[in-house]
Structure 1
Amino acid sequence: EGRRRGSRAEGGAAFETARCPLPPAVPDLLGRDAELARLRAEAAADAPGGVVVSIVGHPGVGKTTLAVSAAHELASRYPDGSLAVDLRGTDDRPLSPRAALEQLLGALGLPARQIPASEPEQSQLFRSLLAGRRVLVLLDNAADEAQVRPLIAAAPGCLTLITCRRALAGLETARWVWLDPLEAPAAADLLSVIVGPDRVLAEPEAATELVALCGNLPLAVRIAGNRLATRPNWSIAYLAGQLRDERTRLSSLSAGDLQVRSAFEMSYGLLSPSARRVFRRLAAIPGSGFGPELAGVAAGMSAAEVQVRLDELVDVNLVQAAVIPGRYQLHDLLRIFAGERLEAEEEAAERSARSEELLSYLLRTATIAGRAFDPPVLTAHPFASLDEAAEWLYREASNWRAAQRRAAAAGRHREVVDLAIAMHWYSDGRTQQQPWDEIFALGAESARALGSRREEAALLNFLGWARYFCLGDNEGGRAAHEAALALAVEIGDRTEQAWANASLGSVLTRMGRPEEALEHARRAVDLSGDLPFWLGQGSIRNVLGTILRVLGRPGEALEVHRGLLADIEKHYDEAHPFARRFFHSATLQCIGLAQNETGDWPRAAETFRRARELFGEGGNALEEADAALNEGRARREAGQYEAAAECLRAALRGFTGVAAWWPRARALAELSTVHWLTGDAAAARRYRDEALALCEELGTPQARALACELA
């Protein structure tokens, strides 16, 4: 691909709904009989695009409680799984559709590193996995229609439940269920269930006053009831008296969000001083989740100390334990409340110092973790292993990405640039895991602000790669690489000139302009003489050979690739074994493809076999499957039909395992051809029909062309 990059991968498709489970059922749902009946009726209705129901109401009115209760009750109607995602619609930065789809696809068995990068691809993949299945999806705390549309389980037999403050009137096929505060008797019944009927019967007037002060909102009543239930010596009148005090309620409980905030205020007041400090300082964490280590940095405590306080916060329902053990979340309203307490109770200088320390920690640790993957370093880093560094970067991604954005806005350009550059090699094998276009664009902008033109050129090249290779945006990639080239020429940076030209060769080939691509590739080879072999020369020469093959000059392509293969042996001891094996395999693939063009099918098949073995040894599942597909095609052309079918079935298994749908369609088409040649018409038709269905679903120009060939 003309970059020091790995190949794009896509995820698997086995259902693992435990990764996006429904929240636990609430045993004491009261006063919602009519709404539950409505949801049952809606779920029973048939709809070609699945049933979509939006539950709407004020914060704390019980939207999530109703949705979760209904989901548990209806789950038996959806035997293929029930999934739930918190969309964080009240955050300053709600969960993006792409991030939500990553969670949903992960729950369907797709490894994070193999999930497609773009939202449309993710949404298409999500819908394709739901086709023919009955699945319930709960989308909690939605922000707006644009956030929700790509996440809807738009397949017959599926149900999507949405909770949101707004009506989402723009959703074309949705039904709406509106929630009002509970009737006073139902609110009193809820309090009675939580604290026990004897206490309510003993203080009926105080109980009536208490639920009224809670605005009859289920969340407020539940939190107040929990406080009473865990403090049996308190009277209901005592708690009502606390709520009656406007200085602690902030304002009347009947005024919108303040209904919930007053309950939070009471819970907060019961905490130990150190737990209060931890809670309010959690508001500074920029991402969606955190562990004890990050909470400790925010609070100014050790991870061990903060763990004790987190347990206290979980006990009083101010912090939620996440599905992943050792991870925690703040509900959207609780995050707002924590921020208010932080501003009210801590001096500006202290808030600034804590925020600075947290931001610096995230930027510094992400940069160190990213640098662990630099080929000159590889193992020289403070993490116990590369896997540990990768796990930290994946787990804390929402936090370090937010830290990079904040640093850019604050003018901390040096740190923004360092982080972006550190992600260069880490991003290689994780093309789908992060929004690399945003990360590298921020880096390029900060380098420009610093006047660091060499770094700007490098980051523009990284940005071009992120656009064309990760997102399929060829035009955007071309523009970034042309900007990098112009800047590199201006400052005399031969290294970035070489990479920009090589990348333009790859992009222009993808755009159907191989003659222009060849000019850039030749310039890249001429400029790459000063680059280390493993970090430049080899990749650039493979780009040249690939373009020559595309131009119908396989003999010249073979000369380039074979010369490169000989040089690999000369430089064998200079590279890390993983990088060496991958590059060797990729070069063999290039040679095999050129041999195909010469009609030397038996030799091409053997070349692909060697590449396939090396990719397999390195754990490169997608590349191994691709080599198996190429080997199968070569063996079919050589008349080795049984061996061809075996290779193609292996390719099919590999592509299915990583959800690589376009290569899978090609493998199905090849299998159909092989079975026609062996006289097995039934199998040939079966594979052809499956390929046609997949091509229709994909809808890309390539897929349409293949469908025409198969028809």
Structure 2
Amino acid sequence: MRGEGGGAESDFGALLLGHRRAAGMSQKRLARASGMSVRALRELEHGRARAAQRRSAEVLAEALGLQGGERERFLIVAELGRRRGGARDAEPLETCGLPPRVPRLVGRHRELDRLRAEAASGGAVVVSGPPGVGKTALAVAAAHALAGEFPDGAFAVDLRGMDERPVAARAALERLLRALGVPGVRVPGSEAERSSLLRALLRERRVLLLLDNAAQEAQVRPLLGAGPGCLTLVTCRGALAGLEQVRWMRLDPLEGGSAVGLLAAIAGADRVAAEPGRAEELAALCEGLPLAVRIAGNRLATRPDWSLGHLVDLLRDERTRLRSLSAGDLQVRPAFEMSYRRLDPAARRVFRRLAAVPGADFGAELAAVATGAPPERVRGHLDALADAGLLQPAAPPGRFQFHDLIRIFAADRLEAEEPGPERERLRDGLVAHTLAAATAAARLFFPDVHHSGPFASRTEAADWLDREAANWLAAHRTAARLGRHREVLDLARAMHWYSDGRLHERPWDEVFRAGAEAARALGDRKEEAALLNFLGWAQYRCLDENEAGLATHTAALEIAREVGDRREQAWALAYMGMELQRLGRITEALRTARRACALAAEFGFLDVGMPAQHALGRVLAGLGRYREALRVHGELLEQVRRNRPNEEALRLMRGVTLEHVGDCLAGLKDWRAAGEAYREAGALQVAGGLRHTGPRLAVLEAAARRRAGEHARARSLLEAAVAASEGPLDRDRRREALAELARLSREG
């Protein structure tokens, strides 16, 4: 649609006009519903104003009854109009997330020009080719060169297609959505919902996406479908021929002259000019693969006394070549072998043993476990391996990762040079260390634990768990595959309370399912019931799969009854009460929650009494029985005080409970007291680490303050909540805050 002003700048006006007519509303009626003037609406619809301000656009969306994708598109078009008009309240997203530019991209000017041309058409381009051909280097260079043409951002995700477990599409979608401004708590649970939201967000934006190192079509397909103004670059070894509506670019090895030019850029033009024939032969031995040429060039650059002929002679010698990994990889092995053989024996040992590290990246701690050397000595080896091009620095500083091919090479060296029993001992030691540390760290999150093993504080434990997440998750999978059921079960058990603060950041359904399977394999029915309770929580709380969660907790309840475990019966019933409420089965929810509390009374408050009472209070409030619910939550607060959990748990327990107290007081229309409860709840929850809850509780407090007649305080809270919203997609909070501001304005 086009407005009278014509051109892209009138898109919002045309969209507004279309929605108003579809709703059967006159300008006068829409003005009354939104609080805007008829003149302002007329200016927008005729294209004389490029777009509404952010608050106005959201009030209009609410007045028009827009929901879902239509609402997102309406707000995004408004934002784009403000950007084109230079509005100050809609700053463009920063270009971020791209890997550093690869230095000395030689011989790829033709391919770069083609990708520049593809940018004008938008859509998706798949860059494929053999390993080591420079797909990532080309795509990263193109992304940097084109980033200025995509004002809404340039983002990159490494899909880790060569890993045993490549990044799932669901996880990649979460990273992209959060990079685009979606708060973690607003990211949908299912892959389909995340994919749909990504498409909605990009429909009217100009964004560049780099999806590096893809494994297969199913991994990439949910990430495609960006708007016509977007460009998606995908790199992979295979062609991903099953994808639709994409364009392909096959990247071939460098031609002889370009490969020699790359070698000269790294090793020195004078040395190459002194031995032109040997330089050509060296490039040929590297088969023109940029990765191999770079490694060979690095060896020459760090060995100024070597001639090119000496290196060529070494590469010719088949005794220095590794057996083939695959037919397409033969051309890179001589360079890998040379880099490895130039290391001292201690560094070689570190290098090959790092292949046993379970996750994608690592620091000195795991490197020390792998090698048996002190961490301070290992750090020197890691730096030397990075200097030799055999490791890549990773974030944060002090961590490293392998290039995919070099990890395979390291694993091959480990198999060739270490006896089987030693390799198994190394693997088992790394898995045992990682799982033991993760288990100890996670136990610090139990409310009745004040110290756990090597970690001095909960903050230190959280930092370790976040930093080493890829490693302890991979170790958990390895242990499950090897049948190390006790370690699998212990880690899953320990993650119970830590998982509360990382709802969408880890695959908790996988962790707890593995724990339940381990308990089953051990024949421990009591532990199986406990882990099924954890799994059910992950299903309904993290994935929004309420029916699945209810079924899992029902199974846990049946097992707990079979073995006479009344504690796990109480846990199952408490969870089921919450799920039944979410499913609208309120009467069943109340009956179930009361049964949970009756059973929980037999056990400690910090064990199961707290969640059982919490569920009962929520269900009572859902039935409108606010005074009863208030008594339950008041008793909760007193129990928290008497049972003295650790400080972090104390803040969170009080903060969550006070929020529900505020809900009950609001239900009773005791607005001043409700506002105070929400204020204290917000402060405690933020102090306890739940920073995303601040704006939501500020809106609740503001609504109570307005009803109590404290308009100035309410306005201040709402303006701060709007400013704190994480981008245009914090839809619920922003809509509620803007609606409250509109009510304040009407009340004077």
Alpha carbons 1:508, 1:516 under 8 Å: kept: yes
Q: Give the aligned partner of residue 99 of structure 2.
A: 22
Deviations 1:83-119 (A, max 9, x none): 3332221222212234445555666678989976654
User: Whole-Å Cα distance in 2 between the matches of residues 254 and 493 of structure 1?
Assistant: 54
User: Within 5 Å, which residues of 2 pair with 1:17-416?
Assistant: 20-30=97-107, 32-45=108-121, 47=122, 51-101=123-173, 103-104=175-176, 119=191, 134-152=206-224, 154-155=226-227, 157-250=229-322, 255-416=327-488
Distance verdict in 2 for CA 1:497–1:663, change over 3 Å: farther
Deviates more, 1:582-591 or 1:448-457: 582-591
SS in 1 for 2:362: coil
SS in 1 for 2:509: helix
Match of 1:469 in 2: 541
Residue of structure 2 in register with 1:586 after alignment: 656
Using the alignment, how far apart are the partners of 1:254 and 1:379 within structure 2?
50
Distance 1:19 1:391 in 2: 23
Task: Pick one of 544, 553, 572 that aligns with 1:481.
Answer: 553
Give 2:612's match in structure 1, choosing from 516, 536, 540: 540
Partner-residue secondary structure (3-state), 2:261: helix
2:722 is aligned with 1:646:
no
Q: Is the 8 A contact 2:185 2:692 kept in 1?
A: no
Residue 15 of structure 1 deviates from its aligned partner by 9.3
CA contact (8 A) 1:15 1:108 kept: no
Aligned to 1:670: 740
> Does structure 1 retain, via aligned residues, the 8 Å contact 2:99–2:140?
yes
1:43 Cα offset (Å)? 1.4
Amino acid at match of 1:398: A
Partner of 1:427: 499
Could you list the per-position Cα deviations for residues 650-680 of structure 1 after superposition, in whole angstroms to 9, with x for gaps in the alignment?
44445538975434333333333443444xx
- Write the distance in 1 (CA, Å) between the matches of 2:390 and 2:690: 43
The one-letter amino acid paired with 1:670 is E
Distance in 2 (CA, whole Å) between partners of 1:204 and 1:627 is 71
Tell me whether 224-233 or 331-340 shows the greater mean CA deviation: 224-233
Match among 701, 721, 725 for residue 631 of structure 1: 701
Aligned-pair distance for 1:240?
2.0
Larger mean CA deviation between 17-26 and 336-345 belongs to 17-26
Query: Higher relative contact order at CA 8 Å, sep ≥6: structure 1 or structure 2?
Result: 1
Distance change in 2, residues 1:386/1:153 (3 Å): farther
Post-superposition offset of 1:637 = 4.4
Point out where structure 1 has 5 or more consecutive residues left out of the alignment.
1-12, 679-711
User: In the superposition, relative to structure 1, how do residues 447 and 66 fare at CA in structure 2: closer, same or farther (>3 Å)?
Assistant: same
Query: 2:448·2:606 contact (CA, 8 Å) conserved in 1?
Result: no
Greater CA drift, 419-428 or 210-219: 210-219
Amino acid aligned to 1:214: C
Instruction: Verify the 8 A CA contact 1:26 1:69 in the aligned structure 2.
Output: no
Whether the 8 Å CA contact 2:152–2:207 is kept in 1: the answer is yes
Do the aligned partners of 1:15 and 1:109 also contact (CA within 8 Å) in 2? no
Q: Which residue of structure 1 lines up, in the alignment, with residue 32 of structure 2?
A: none
Moved more, 125-134 or 375-384: 125-134
Secondary structure of the corresponding residue to residue 22 of structure 1: coil
By how many angstroms is 1:187 displaced? 2.2
CA deviation string 1:22-77 (max 9, x = no partner): 223322411x23212111111133x4xxx422211111222122222222322333
Inter-CA distance 633–28: structure 2 relative to 1 (3 Å threshold): closer
**CA-CA distance at 1:196 after TM superposition:** 3.2
Aligned partners of 1:207, 1:612: CA distance in 2, in Å? 67
C-alpha distance in structure 2 between counterparts of 1:252 and 1:405, whole Å: 29
Q: Which amino acid aligns with 1:23?
A: P
* Amino acid across the alignment from 1:40: R
Of the structure 1 ranges 246-255 and 406-415, higher mean CA displacement relative to structure 2 is found in 246-255
Shift of 1:79: 4.6
2: CA distance, partners of 1:296 / 1:346: 17
- Report the Cα distance in structure 1 between the residues aligned to 2:388 and 2:176, rounded to whole angstroms: 29
Rounded Cα–Cα distance in structure 1 between residues aligned with 2:371 and 2:522: 32
| 1:308-361 Cα distance to aligned partner (Å, 9 max, x none) | 211221111011111320000001111111111111111111111111111111
Q: Classify 1:396/1:562 alpha carbon distance in 2 versus 1 (closer, same or farther; 3 Å).
A: closer
Question: Cα deviation per residue 1:672-698 (whole Å; 9 max; x = unaligned)?
Answer: 3443444xxxxxxxxxxxxxxxxxxxx
State the alpha-carbon separation in 1 of the partners of residues 326 and 515 from structure 2. Answer: 47
Assess if the C-alpha contact under 8 Å between 2:441 and 2:465 holds in 1: yes
Amino acid across the alignment from 2:691:
A
How many Å apart are 1:139 and its aligned residue? 2.2
Q: What's the counterpart of residue 692 of structure 1?
A: none
1:415/1:72 Cα in 2 relative to 1: closer, same or farther (>3 Å)? Answer: same
The 10-residue stretch of structure 1 (458-467 or 537-546) with the greater mean CA deviation from structure 2: 537-546
> Shift in Å at residue 292 of structure 1?
1.0
Q: Give 1:256 deviation, angstroms.
A: 1.0
Stretch of structure 1 that moved more, 351-360 or 79-88: 79-88
Kindly indicate whether the alpha-carbon contact (under 8 Å) linking 1:595 and 1:604 is maintained by their aligned counterparts in 2: yes
Deviates more, 1:317-326 or 1:109-118: 109-118
CA shift in 2, pair 1:656/1:54, >3 Å: same
Give how far 1:286 is off.
Answer: 1.4
Moved more, 16-25 or 354-363: 16-25
User: CA separation of 1:186/1:662 partners in 2, compared to 1, >3 Å: closer, same or farther?
Assistant: same
- Asked if the contact 2:675/2:705 (under 8 Å) is kept, the reply is yes
Contact persistence 1:213–1:254 (CA under 8 A): no
Deviations 1:585-634 (A, max 9, x none): 33333233233334444443444344344445545433343332223333
For 1:530, what is the secondary structure of its paired residue?
coil
| Identical aligned residues as a percent | 55
Q: Does the CA contact (< 8 Å) of 2:189 and 2:544 recur in 1? A: no
Is contact 1:20–1:104 with CA below 8 Å preserved after alignment? no
Return the alpha-carbon distance in structure 2 between the equivalents of residues 206 and 567 of structure 1.
81
Secondary structure at the aligned position of 2:312 is classed as helix
1:594 maps to a residue whose letter is: C
Structure 1 residue 636, shift from structure 2 partner: 4.1
Q: Partner of 1:706 in structure 2?
A: none
Counterpart Cα distance in 2 of 1:405 and 1:658:
38
- Change in Cα spacing, 1:293 to 1:659, as seen in structure 2 (3 Å) is farther
State which of 430, 435, 438 in structure 1 corresponds to 2:510.
438
User: 2:6 aligns to what?
Assistant: none
Q: Return 32-41 or 121-130, whichever deviates more.
A: 121-130
Letter in 2 for 1:29: V
Aligned-partner Cα distance in 1 for 2:189–2:455: 27
TM-superposed CA distance for 1:297, in Å, is 0.9
Aligned to 2:24: none
Instruction: Give the Cα separation in 2 of the matches to 1:195 and 1:380.
Output: 52
Give the counterpart letter for 2:216 in structure 1. D
Measured after TM superposition, the shift of residue 149 of structure 1 is 3.7
Q: 1:284 to 1:106 in 2, by over 3 A?
A: farther
Query: Of the candidates 621, 639, 643, which is equivalent to residue 691 of structure 2?
Result: 621
Take 1:617 and 1:389, find their aligned partners in 2: how far apart are those partners? 17
* C-alpha separation in 2, matches of 1:292 and 1:559: 53
Q: Displacement of 1:419 after TM fit? A: 0.8
Pair 25,250 (structure 1): closer, same or farther in 2 beyond 3 Å: closer
Work out whether residues 449 and 646 of structure 2, in 8 Å CA contact, stay in contact via their aligned partners in 1.
no
Letter in 2 for 1:393: L
CA distance, structure 1, for counterparts of residue 111 and residue 95 of structure 2 = 27
Q: Which amino acid aligns with 2:726?
A: T
Q: Distance in 2 between matches of 1:581 and 1:388?
A: 18
Q: Given the two structures, how large is their TM-score scaled by the length of structure 2?
A: 0.81
